[in-house]
Amino acid sequence: MAGTGAGTGDAAFDVVVVGNGVLGLSLAVVLLRRRLRVAVVGDGRRPMAASTASGAMNGCFGEVTATTMATVHGRARLDMDVIAAGMWDDWLAGLEEDGGGTVRCAQGTLVIHNTIGMAEIDDAAMTAIRTALELYGEPFESVDPAEAVPWLDPQPTARPLAGLFLPREHGVDSGTLLDVLHRAVTRLGGAMVDEHAVRVVHGTDRATGIALADGTVLAGDRVVLAAGVGTQTLLDSLPADITAPIPRLISGFGVSVLLSNNPAASPPDCVVRTPNRSFGCGLHTVPRGTDQVYVGATNTTRPRPGSDPSVRDLAFLLDCAARQLRRELWFSDITATAVGNRPMTLDGHPLLGESPLAGLWLMTGTFRDGLHTSPLLAARLADQIIDGTPPTPEMDLFRPSRPPIQTMNRQDTVRHATVHRLAIGHEWNWSLPVEWPVHLEEMYETKYRALAEKTHDTLTPPPEVLAYIPAFPELADMLDTYYNAGQLPHDPYRRLR
């Protein structure tokens, strides 16, 4: 059979993929279509995964912020997002043929600019989104949100002032997508192994398989770790000299809900969202038929994955939904809650490509855009694994073994952490004397600057990490270990000229 490659030679599988979320399953489908022997390992319940809690938006231009276009790494990720967006129609057509089922549940995206946001975040983001749309020649329309989506009925103090409709930025049902991918893998002849992976099996210079919790060892010429935040446990099973230059995976912990919808007021058939803010992907809703709406999602940076929604996260999300989207949602039934752990890295960028251990590949750390970029990442990683194709320049920026990536200087990082922290208060609809937010701003900026200076002399973690060190001091210990692994900064503050 094609693709046996070098290595163990008599391995049971050409490729063992650890992770049965959207990324792992997508890679398996591409490999199987190219006639490789593939096993996919993962607990069928997918506990604490990111995919199961997502909406999911095919987020591309709606995810753009003021910093996206300013840095080489941000622009590279947007380039990949744009390429991936163009692949989804053919990708879904192929999946429906291989796995059956209709995955797309929303047509287009409405980005709303409402009165809740902060000028430093929302005004800048809306300008950046429009700039990116024009730069890439992407069609869009400036609309009155109330006319475009009559379902919207926010609290008057949270009313949208303007909107951008993106007709080619859709949404999919993540649960249906996972089911279709699973069926496609099975029908294409892949082995689904419903078990927990505990260790990477390797020789002196090469990965040779995966050890399972039941004692079984799956042998494979190549091993791909695509298990989201759970990948870190497997990396921890390797010698430290292999993993030291790989930024550690942490969790972007998020909560989402399914709410009942009054059938007399049909939900929009598009995604409705705000720009990214409050350290998250913006408030957003995705239709689930006529009687339910998905609302997401919160984001808290944690050193380790979580499994249960907190009262704070649920209260925040439900309050935002009723105030900013539709007041009637306050009387809805909560049909379901979901918890997800977005895979983040300590430097805020994905891990894509072969690790320092030959035969061991990583496909994780994508944070918010893993599902959207899954067709592209699966195709590109398959080319590298099977044909030895060199990584594209964008992919090479995010190779697993690398010095810490920095896209902001310390002053900008501290400022971003401060304004996104304040944005949480504004989304909470806090009631404070008018001068208090000014004092809080000074307090947070001083606090985050001191934290940054304590963390390292020159290196500063991303705002999403820096802001959560007070709540999770373990993050500081992880950063200290990573920063002291002998790596120099990777193109610090490298910005587009």
Last residue of a domain, one of 344, 373, 396: 344
- Check residue 398 and report its DSSP letter: T
**Percentage of the chain exceeding pLDDT 90:** 86
Shared-domain flag, residues 156 and 298: yes
Q: What confidence tens digit (pLDDT) does each residue in 10-54 have?
A: 469 999 999 999 999 999 999 999 999 999 999 999 988 898 888
Containing domain of residue 327, as a range? Answer: 104-170+250-344
**pLDDT higher than 60, residue 152:** yes
Shared-domain flag, residues 139 and 262: yes
Shared-domain flag, residues 163 and 262: yes
Shared-domain flag, residues 283 and 140: yes
Domain contains 25: no
**pLDDT higher than 50, residue 495:** no
Shared-domain flag, residues 317 and 450: no
**pLDDT higher than 90, residue 490:** no
Shared-domain flag, residues 327 and 432: no
Domain contains 393: no
Domain contains 126: yes
| CATH classification at residue 258 | 3.30.9.10
User: Which pLDDT score, from 0 to 100, does residue 429 have?
Assistant: 87
**pLDDT higher than 50, residue 227:** yes
Shared-domain flag, residues 152 and 256: yes
Element (H, E) at 295: strand 292-296
Shared-domain flag, residues 339 and 254: yes
- The domain total for the chain is 2
Shared-domain flag, residues 165 and 297: yes
The reported pTM is 0.94
Shared-domain flag, residues 150 and 263: yes
User: Which pLDDT score, from 0 to 100, does residue 6 have?
Assistant: 33
Last residue of a domain, one of 344, 373, 398: 344
What's the rounded Cα separation, in Å, for the pair 451 and 488?
A: 20
Q: Is the bond leading into 56 cis (omega within 30 degrees of zero)?
A: yes
Domain contains 394: no
Domain contains 79: no
Domain contains 112: yes
Last residue of a domain, one of 289, 323, 344: 344
Shared-domain flag, residues 160 and 258: yes
What's the rounded Cα separation, in Å, for the pair 43 and 199?
A: 15
Among candidate residues 62, 68, 19, the one with its CA nearest the CA of residue 351: 19
User: Which pLDDT score, from 0 to 100, does residue 489 have?
Assistant: 52
Mean pLDDT of 184-190: 97
E strands along 103-206, which residues? 104-106, 109-114, 141-143, 160-166, 171-172, 191-193, 197-202
**pLDDT higher than 90, residue 56:** no
Mean pLDDT of 65-92: 94
**pLDDT higher than 80, residue 264:** no
Shared-domain flag, residues 158 and 286: yes
Q: pLDDT grade, residue 486 (50/70/90)?
A: low
